[in-house]
Every structure is written in structure tokens, then in C-alpha cells.
Amino acid sequence: MIIGYLGAGTWGSALTSLLANKGYQIKVWDRNSDLIDHLTASRTHPKLLGFRAPENISYFKNIEDAIEGVDLIVESVTSSGIREVLQKVYMIKKKKMCPFIITSKGIEQKTGLLFPEIALEVLKEKNKHFIGVISGPSHAEEVVKNLPTSVVASSFDSNLVETIVKVFTTNDFRVYPNNDIYGIAFGGAFKNIIAIACGISDGLGYGVNTKAALMTRGLHEMRKLCVAKKCKPETLNGLSGLGDLIVTCSSTLSRNYRFGRLIAEGLSLEEAKEKIGMIVEGVYTTVSGYELGQKYHIPIPITEVAYKVLYEDLLPDNAVKSLLQRTIKEEHL
């Protein structure tokens, strides 16, 4: 099998390493030509310690070259860039489409579309059975070290789910099938907002009691809002919801968590992003999540205060106080 891989960031590089070590030929494209030059010359990644590109990975600056003649396409691009990449793929492959696997996590701003919804819109209904998703608690830094990891895969087509499980599963990387493609896409995206909130909480010096409350009530927000996006709430009890929430809210490997801590220290949004030095998807998704709550008139207080801290200059300490001063209601699960 020949696999075209779109996106050579840390997550994309961890997965290309996994796939290459299974013997697949991998053709990688990234819009950052300097990164492609670095990967081609050194076979290492500047931000992923321990990554060494196997010989069966090739790098390309032209997306057409990367997906020409491939049997499968995998993407790991940014939330803001995924629609443009899908449009390019469709123009190149529309006469002979192949499976397209989404591994990025996000929700599009303005439209509120989940990534498989964007893929369905761009690639057209006739290619619906080619769209798949992988999500779950999986830091690139651990996957590249072959540390035990479990994720979940879904598709609009059950046969493609079986293919994804077969292609990606290794002795250390376990892939569970799931039939709720929107649910696993939603969980993987929305937990980044809660991770920023947990980072802010820790940065302010609050304890694990506070973080446990944020994570639990954050999961409640996710479950309420996911129904409006035609997801199954029970999906969020699994790897793409609770599992990813635990990892992203607790680990310093999480950019979203680290970003939240920097905001609590007094850095501006742009200063914190610059210090992280890589894309912080939760910054983008916080806007999307806030927009969805407004659209469907669903109260999501943690998301709302995270949005106000990032975009309306609400002081982090005042954000926590505003959550604590909300009217107490019965806990509904």
C-alpha cells in the first residue's frame, strides 16, 4: 500500500513513522517548504525528539506529487487549513477518489462543521464511503516512542473502518472501531477548550479539586452540545471524549494545557501562541465552541468564560470567580 500523508507536524510525523515501520510506502506533503527541506535533509523533526524518518518515507513540496498514485490519504493539517486541503484533494482525485482519513481535531469557525462534515461537503455525497476519522488520547511524543496508546476509528462505511483498524494497528498502537463518526470528531475537538481552562486553573495555583470539577463539568458541556451536532452522548464516555480529555487536561505535553498556563501567567493570546511555537488548536476551537453554544442556545459556561478570557480581556481570576458564582442547579448527567 502507498499512503499519501498531508501535514508534517509532530502528530503527522509520529503517525508516518508508525505507518512506515509497518512497511507502507509514505509520501508526505506540507505547506511549510522549509520543514520539508529539513525533513528531507536530516530525516529528523525539529520539534519531535526521537523521530527519525525511515527510508520508505518521501517528502514533497507539491501536494499533487504526494497523492499521485496512492491507495490511501491521511491528513494532519490545521483546523483553519483543512477545507483548503480538502478542496485541493478533490480537484486532484475527483476522477478516482481513494479513502481519506482525518486525524486532525477541530471544529470550523462560522459554519460550526465538524471535520467529517467538511469532508462530506467538499468531497461530495458520492464519495461519502471514502471518509474516515481517527481520534483519541495520543500525544505524538509518546506514539513516536512506541508507548502503549489506544485510539478510536470511525467512518460512514463499515468496510473502511475495518481498513483503518488494519492499517494503523500495531503491537503498541491499538485502534478500536466505532460507528459514531461525528461523536469521535466532536470529542477530539472540544476537549481542547477544557484543556485551556484547566491550564489556566493550574497556572493560577488552584488545586486538583478545581481541575477535577472543570474536567467533569466540561465533559457535561460536551455531552449537552454534542446532541445538537447529531452525536451520541455515550461516545464521549470513551477514548475520543473522556480519554482525550484526561490526557489533554493533565499533561504538559498538551499545547492547549500549556497555553492556558501561559495565559494565567499574564501573557497575551499572541504572546502565549508564540511561546508555544506550534499551532494551539484549542484557541481556534474555543471560538467555534462558543459560536455553537450561541447558535443552539445551550449554556456552556466553561467554554463561555474561556472565550471571554481569550477574546474579551476577562481576567483569568475573574473567570474562575464567575463560574463559582453561577446559580447552583441539580447535577444532571
Please choose, from the candidates 191, 284, 280, the residue with its C-alpha nearest in 3D space to the C-alpha of residue 10: 280
**Inter-axis angle of helices 181-203 and 255-264, to 10 degrees?**
30
Looking at the annotation, which residues are catalytic? 191
CB contact burial 33-53 (16+ within 10 A = b; e otherwise)? eebbebbeeeeebeebeebeb
> Is the Cβ–Cβ distance between 39 and 77 less than 8 Å?
no
Q: What count of residues does the chain have? A: 333
Distance linking the first and last C-alpha atoms of the chain: 45
**HSE (CB half, 13 Å, CA atoms) of 231?**
31
In this structure, the number of other CB atoms found within 10 A of the CB of residue 60 comes to 19
Contacts of 46-51 with CB under 8 Å at 24 or more apart are 47/9, 47/10, 47/277, 47/278, 48/10, 48/13, 48/14, 48/140, 48/141, 48/144, 49/141, 50/141, 50/144, 50/145, 51/10, 51/13, 51/14, 51/17, 51/144
Please choose, from the candidates 29, 23, 131, 120, the residue with its C-alpha nearest in 3D space to the C-alpha of residue 72: 131
For 208, phi and psi rounded to 5 degrees? -70, -25
